[in-house]
A and B are shown apart, each in its own frame.
Chain A
Amino acid sequence: MSTPYAKLPRWADYGLIPLINLLVAFAVAGLVVLLVGENPFRAAVILVDGAFGSGPGIAYTLFYATSFIFTGLAVAVAFHGGLFNIGGEGQAYFAGLGVALACLPFDGFLPWYLIFLLAILCSAVFGALWALIPAYLQAKRGSHIVITTIMFNFIASSLMVYMLVDVLKPMGSMAPQTRQFLDGAQLPRLGFLFDYIGMKVRPSVPLNISFLLALLMAFLVWVLIWRTKLGYEIRTMGFSPKAARYAGISETRVIIVTMLISGALAGMMAMNPIMGDQHNVPLDFVAGAGFVGIAVALMGRSHPAGIVPAAILFGMLYQGGAELSFEMPSISRDMIVIIQGLVILFAGALEHMFRPAVQAVFASFSPKSVGVVAAKGEGV
């Protein structure tokens, strides 16, 4: 028996339900704030104001969002193929090596745009390589991709510690990171754009050109999924592996290619903190962006047009959260993580919690505006 709920109009599906989820997440987070003895409304104002109230605030929000767009797209592409790539974290981390490979030998004499192109290529290839092994194991051996990609996160983590401590660390340095990049490997920052809208942004704010690359990738992912033969095959496979087999689509090939693209997108995320902000490859530069990407993809319904705003929302939580812990000392960094966790919980994991209620409301108010998915009668 199919569910007797009517289908929602698109605006409710893509706008109203995420909004309700978000509001509930904030309400629960507000309770937590109340529990530590702070005013939740003031906290909310600080959070939003910190993220969007000033030029630098916005720039930081977009800087964080850049990473989340990449990882969100990575998760989304895999989702379309019916694959759950939890390994964005490890793929991005490993791709840091690719970025180092593109920057360290050449930053003394190549212009930034050539190194940027090289770094796009290297980070994508390294990210893809890290996704290749789980993809191969899934396609050929049936090892579940969720398990293998999680495991590869740990492997990447250990490998990077080894690389940064024992291989890439300059002689005599105490910090487990590569040497500082020269000008050629530092990406141009976009703070100057804010001048045109009358806002001042310090040159030290790390929003950089990889944000534009992220937007371009969002567009290209849309083209890939909905406008190419490969995207058609990925979607067929994601919706129905049996139909894919019937259509003569090679399961092995689609799994591997999808994961390569997913890994490459996750890998490109590495450029944002490394070449845009730190100008070296430090430990733990991914800082959870790979996992946030899962929430971003879920919240954005695996559609680039949803992923970009979802990524900006999480950028807001990161940036506004940092402001909040600064303004309200009793709200520590961990509290921010709790709030982010709640948003992920309600927007991602509990995404369908309010759906039946909303559908019931819609069905009773406007029976004309809803189509039918349920009860098309008998037959197989």
Chain B
Amino acid sequence: MEFKKTENDGIVIYELSGRLDTQSAPDFQAVLDEGFEKDENKIVLDCKNLEYMSSAGLRTILYAKKCIDKNETDKADEISAQKGFLKLINVSDEILEVFEMTGFSEFLSINGSSND
């Protein structure tokens, strides 16, 4: 998998392409970790060019969501403008089906139709 990282007004956008799979997921998780260490907690994953996502990818997404939520709890007193989030946009029907069957769609914001 390859990705392009851009930042706009405190929002970090990762444009993912290829496969978020058992080979690439650990590397991408390390990239996200580097961002979390720099307090990057407004994350958008653009999945327009993502071919597929296996359970290894799901684990990385869950990890990121928990990190952001934990950060929110730790900084509960800060103003709402600082609130972090994780959004997935341009998710294909196939990948969306994986999110739905695993129940991930219940707690993730996907394609802009937030369930949060």
A binds B: no
**Chain A interface residues (CB < 8 Å from chain B):** none
B-to-A contact residues, CB < 8 Å: none
